[in-house]
Every structure is written in C-alpha cells, then in structure tokens.
C-alpha cells in the first residue's frame, strides 16, 4: 500500500489549521503529520516527523512563511514547500517562488484545488491557483530566470533595508567585510539592480518581504518545541 502524503501544517491561526486539517484528512491518501503555529516551531517538527510537504501561511509572528521555503531548501532539501495564503500580490508570489516554494494556493480557493496542489507538488511538479501564474509573468518570475536568493543573501538584503554598514553586517554574520561586499554584488546581479543606492531602495521597498529571522541569531528560528498533532493510523511514520 502506498503511504499517504505527510503534511506539516504551519499557520498561526488555530481555526485555520483545524479547518485545513479536517479537509485534508477526509482524503485517504493525505494526512497531517503535525502542526506548528510559527516558522520556528516547524523546524524541530520537521526533524521529528519527516513530512513530505510543508503547507505554510505567509504572514505570521516573528518570521515570514516566505523565508520558511529558503530555510527548508537549505536544511530539508527533500521536503517541498507549498504556500497557502490570502495574499494574491505578485510580489509575495514571486518572493515565495524565488526562495524555493513549489506552489502557491489562495485560501479562498476550493478545497479540491488544495488537494490537486498537494498532489502536483508531491509528484515533483509545481502548482499555482488560477491567475497567479500570470502574476508571475507580469512580475518577471525570479524562479524561472534562476535568480533565487540564498538565505544569507536574504539576510543581507534585510540588513541593507535597516541601513546597516558593511562592517556592521559583517559583525552580525561573523564574516569579513569583503564577503559582505560579495553578497551585495550577487544581490545586484540577481535582482538586476545597478548601484548601491538602487539596492538600498529595493531593500527598503521590499522590507516586509525580505525580513529574514536568520539575522537575529543562530537560535532565532527555534521556538520552544511544539506539540505535534496526534497522527491518525494511516499517517504513522514509515507506514
């Protein structure tokens, strides 16, 4: 028997998690292995539960769900990230995909659309709610042009938006000023930005989307261990 698709659900609203879990678990081949109320809670659960897909909101306290995709791409490359959000803004979609998300579904979409998205992402594909692919085209998708930011580059962009100097950023990163300068250069190339002033403007304009909890310290992403929701029998690990 083929094991079910194991989902780690990340959303700061319990009612949303309850509704999504009930709908997903009505589908025989999908199970919710665990739940987290924040990006920080999701990391230890990912270690413990080995999900196939992380289904995450974007706007949450302390850390953006957008950057969860970047963290999972680095720490859990086998786990695929699917965004479930109320925001249909092109920049949110573009940033999520650029940092590694494999799909983006709107919260007002029919439940069947979410099921289809999970199936597509689990099979190695991508999925976007109708209309969002056009937004990506209009915004000039970073993902399709292979200009995605690494977690380090996202951190540097956040610090640039705060007006920090290269020396300050180097101290925060525990690296050299030369390395910071290299990160800035890579950022300008990937974002197709000319000059430091333009990079600063971009960073400030997109500060909400470039917020990266990694820059607050090595333990910033780890909240107290979350209590995993009890998995039903068909969601038992290794079944």
Q: 164-193: per-residue pLDDT in tens?
A: 999 999 999 899 999 999 999 988 888 888
Question: Are residues 110 and 159 located together in one domain of the fold?
Answer: no
Question: Are residues 157 and 98 located together in one domain of the fold?
Answer: no
Question: Are residues 206 and 230 located together in one domain of the fold?
Answer: no
Question: Are residues 112 and 170 located together in one domain of the fold?
Answer: no
Read off the pLDDT of each residue in 209-224 and give the average, rounded to a whole number: 40
**Band of residue 236 on the pLDDT scale cut at 50, 70, 90:** low
Question: Are residues 57 and 75 located together in one domain of the fold?
Answer: yes
Read off the pLDDT of each residue in 15-33 and give the average, rounded to a whole number: 94
Question: Are residues 138 and 166 located together in one domain of the fold?
Answer: no
Question: Are residues 96 and 170 located together in one domain of the fold?
Answer: no
**Residue 115 parent element (H or E):** helix 111-122
- pLDDT(115) > 90: yes
Question: Are residues 126 and 171 located together in one domain of the fold?
Answer: no
Q: Nearest to residue 27, comparing CAs of 42, 7, 10?
A: 7
Domain count, the chain: 2
Lowest mean pLDDT among 77-81, 115-119, 143-147: 143-147
pLDDT value at residue 140: 52
DSSP letter string, 199-234: HHHHHHHTHHHH--GGGG-TTTT-PSPP-PPPPPGG
Read off the pLDDT of each residue in 73-77 and give the average, rounded to a whole number: 88
Question: Are residues 191 and 119 located together in one domain of the fold?
Answer: no
pLDDT value at residue 155: 84
Question: Are residues 9 and 109 located together in one domain of the fold?
Answer: yes
Domain encompassing residue 229? 5-144+225-235
- Taking only the tens place, the pLDDT of each residue in 141-164 is 444 433 467 778 888 888 888 889
pTM of this structure: 0.64
**Measured between alpha carbons, how far is 114 from 21 in angstroms, rounded to an integer?**
12
Of how many residues is the chain composed? Answer: 239
Question: Are residues 88 and 205 located together in one domain of the fold?
Answer: no
Q: What is the CATH number of the domain that holds 18?
A: 3.40.50.2300
């Amino acid at each position: 028997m083929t094991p079910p698709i194991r989902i780690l659900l990340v959303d700061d609203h319990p009612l949303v998690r309850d509704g999504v879990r009930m709908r997903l678990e009505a589908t025989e081949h999908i199970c919710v292995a665990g739940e987290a109320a924040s990006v920080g809670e999701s990391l230890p659960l990912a270690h413990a539960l080995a999900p196939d897909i992380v289904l995450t909101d974007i706007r949450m306290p302390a850390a953006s769900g957008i950057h969860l995709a970047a963290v999972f791409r680095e720490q859990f490359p086998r786990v695929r990230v699917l965004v479930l959000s109320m925001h249909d803004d092109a920049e949110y979609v573009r940033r999520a995909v650029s940092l590694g998300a494999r799909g983006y579904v709107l919260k007002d979409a029919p439940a069947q659309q979410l099921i289809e998205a999970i199936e597509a992402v689990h099979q190695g594909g991508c999925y976007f709610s109708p209309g969002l692919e056009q937004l990506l085209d209009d915004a000039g998708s970073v993902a399709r042009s292979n200009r995605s930011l690494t977690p380090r580059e996202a951190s540097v962009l956040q610090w640039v938006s705060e007006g920090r100097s290269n020396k300050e950023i180097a101290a925060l990163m525990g690296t050299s000023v030369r390395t910071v300068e290299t990160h800035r250069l890579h950022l300008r190339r990937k974002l197709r930005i000319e000059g430091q002033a333009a990079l600063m403007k971009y960073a400030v304009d997109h500060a909400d989307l470039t917020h990266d909890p990694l820059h607050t310290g090595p333990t910033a992403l780890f909240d107290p261990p979350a209590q995993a929701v009890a998995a039903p029998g068909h969601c038992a690990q290794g079944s």
